[in-house]
């Protein structure tokens, strides 16, 4: 059985870009329908970074995705109403002005300045309650600050998308808590567990989308949604894959960017906290190298220790004294997203340059220096066969160990697989996300960023999405 719906604006994906799009356009009086492939999960239903969260809120349960290459790079994406905003650490960082200027010049992006983006960012920050953690930082975060101070390096406590109302830990202001309920209250319709199989095209217009919806009774049905305007906001992997499946391929799925990250499990003499992600970042080497902290539940610590391939059973017995930290780089390399006919998931590849590998090795050693300066007694690197380090003079051993075949990398920031530009030969969309060759098809997510921003991209994604919506409203 096929059900047919009609809407003015169809938004595909409900993450940072899709939520801004839906909330902005419904407030302006448009009839908006949002389709989301994942389920609608109560934000309080599962513990952050737990197995239940991985199973319910991540694509492929958060454990099976990797960009193929040497080395492969593991990545994770949210797949639920609210997208990756439901599962990330909630760090908030506006796009660095230097990159905005550089991208504007290099990609000839119209009306793209820090002042413009900051205006939208300020509105979103007010809406979402972006703030610092009240009081002293938790021990796992203070480690970064302490190590940086001892070495004379810069570090900052990042803002986060958290609301603190007398609750020490605060409540992360995900899209499922904020913009999506606001959009629904204003009349938007959100359809969870509804995967778009392809867009329906005719000439230079998109007529709508063909979807597969899983109903609450478990029955799957085909759904066709006709729309006057379509915004694809599925993120840097799923958006290019959908466009390619729909026969739209010009500059789509090329130029993928990541922040490849390498980790260390650090043992300290005292117990640390494990319920949250450190909010401090060492910015001494920014924007090309950033040092920060990861989720450090016992299971994550076990995974990080196992990455060194040394016997870690003694260390794990005192897991309360261990936390996981990372060094992330802006990569010179790039990747591709390719929708393969007949396959559910796109093929993703990424080519790290020798310079990237060198930066990662340098990042690992800087991270080691910092953790030892902060009082760590043992460091387990995510290098296969990488020796455990206890003193600064031993860190140099990692330099030779960080080879393509022995480095274990991961990332959670995925951007730039379509890009925006006024030059159709350089990007898949114009300056405001309209797909080249189509009157009413737009992209409004992380795919649009011309390059990796060197920081958590959520703020940049949301600001650009709000700017693009304003331009759409001014045109329509």
Partner 1 sequence: MLWFERQVVDALGSAVGDRQADVRDYVDGTLRLMPESIRAGIVAESLLLGSWPRLQQLFGRYEPHSLDHRIARWEASPIAPIRQYVRALRALVLFAEYEMAGDH
Backbone angles phi, psi at 160, to 5 degrees: -135, 160
The partner residues of 131 in beta bridges, in order of sequence, read 160
Asked if residues 170 and 162 have their Cβ atoms less than 8 Å apart, the reply is yes
Cβ closer to partner 1: 66 or 289? 66
CB of 36 to partner 1, least distance (A): 17
Cβ closer to partner 1: 185 or 340? 340
Cβ closer to partner 1: 61 or 426? 61
Pairing of strands 322-329, 261-267: antiparallel
Let me know if 413 is a catalytic residue: yes
Q: What DSSP letter does each residue of 115-132 carry, written as one string?
A: HHHHHHHHHHHHHHT-BP
CB of 119 to partner 1, least distance (A): 39
Cβ closer to partner 1: 105 or 404? 404
Q: What is the enclosing helix (H) or strand (E) of 9?
A: strand 2-12
Footprint of partner 1 on this chain (CB under 8 A)? 50-51, 54-55, 60-61, 63-66, 68, 70-72, 274, 297-299, 302-303, 306-307, 309, 340, 343-348, 384-385, 405-406, 408
d(CA 56, CA 44): 12
CB of 445 to partner 1, least distance (A): 20
Burial of 338 (0-12, 13-18, 19+ CB in 10 A): middle
CB of 383 to partner 1, least distance (A): 12
Burial of 186 (0-12, 13-18, 19+ CB in 10 A): middle
CB of 166 to partner 1, least distance (A): 25
Question: Could you tell me how many residues make up the chain?
Answer: 476
Cβ closer to partner 1: 102 or 354? 354
Query: Rounded to the nearest 10 degrees, what angle do helices 354-373 and 139-151 cross at?
Result: 100
Task: Give the pair of three-digit tokens for residue 473.
Answer: 């409203």
Cβ closer to partner 1: 171 or 316? 316
d(CA 59, CA 38): 8
CB of 242 to partner 1, least distance (A): 15
Q: Please, what is the Cα angle at 368 between 160 and 323, to 5 degrees?
A: 50
Catalytic residues: 413
């Amino acid at each position: 059985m096929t059900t047919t719906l009609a809407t003015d604006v169809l938004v595909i994906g409900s993450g940072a870009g899709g939520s801004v799009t839906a909330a902005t356009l419904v407030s302006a009086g448009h009839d908006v329908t949002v389709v989301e492939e994942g389920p609608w999960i109560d934000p309080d239903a599962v513990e952050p970074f737990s197995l239940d969260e991985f199973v319910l809120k991540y694509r492929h349960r958060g454990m099976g995705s990797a960009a193929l290459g040497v080395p492969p790079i593991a990545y994770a994406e949210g797949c639920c109403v609210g997208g990756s905003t439901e599962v990330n650490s909630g760090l908030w960082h506006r796009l660095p002005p230097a990159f905005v200027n550089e991208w504007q010049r290099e990609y000839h992006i119209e009306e793209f300045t820090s002042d413009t983006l900051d205006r939208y960012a300020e509105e979103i920050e007010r809406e979402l309650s972006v703030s610092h953690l009240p009081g002293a930082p938790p021990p796992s975060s203070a480690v970064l600050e302490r190590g940086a101070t001892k070495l004379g390096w810069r570090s900052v406590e990042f803002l986060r998308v958290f609301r603190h109302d007398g609750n020490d830990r605060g409540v992360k202001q995900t899209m499922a808590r904020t913009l999506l309920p606001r959009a629904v209250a204003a009349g938007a319709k959100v359809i969870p567990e509804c995967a778009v199989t392809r867009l329906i095209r005719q000439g230079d217009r998109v007529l709508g989308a063909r979807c597969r919806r899983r109903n609450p009774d478990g029955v799957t049905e085909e759904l066709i949604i006709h729309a006057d305007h379509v915004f694809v906001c599925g993120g840097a992997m799923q958006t290019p894959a959908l466009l390619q499946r729909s026969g739209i391929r010009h500059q789509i799925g090329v130029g993928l960017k990541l922040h490849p990250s390498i980790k260390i499990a650090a043992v300290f003499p005292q117990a640390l906290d494990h319920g949250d992600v450190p909010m401090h970042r060492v910015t001494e080497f920014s924007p090309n190298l950033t040092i920060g902290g990861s989720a450090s539940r016992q299971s994550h610590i076990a995974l990080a220790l196992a990455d060194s391939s040394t016997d870690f059973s003694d260390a794990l017995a005192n897991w309360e004294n261990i936390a996981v930290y990372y060094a992330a780089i802006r990569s010179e390399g790039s990747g591709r997203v390719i929708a393969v006919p007949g396959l559910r998931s796109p093929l993703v590849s990424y080519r790290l340059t020798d310079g990237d590998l060198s930066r990662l090795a340098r990042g690992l050693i800087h991270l080691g220096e910092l953790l030892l300066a902060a009082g760590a007694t043992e460091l387990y690197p995510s290098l296969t066969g990488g020796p455990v380090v206890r003193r600064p003079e031993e860190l140099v051993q990692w330099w030779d160990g960080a080879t393509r075949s022995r480095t274990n990398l991961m990332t959670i920031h995925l951007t730039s697989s379509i890009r925006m530009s006024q030059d159709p030969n350089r990007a898949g969309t114009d300056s405001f996300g309209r797909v080249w060759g189509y009157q009413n098809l737009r992209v409004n997510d992380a795919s649009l960023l011309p390059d990796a921003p060197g920081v958590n991209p959520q703020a940049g994604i949301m600001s650009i999405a709000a700017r693009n919506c304003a331009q759409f409203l001014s045109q329509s």
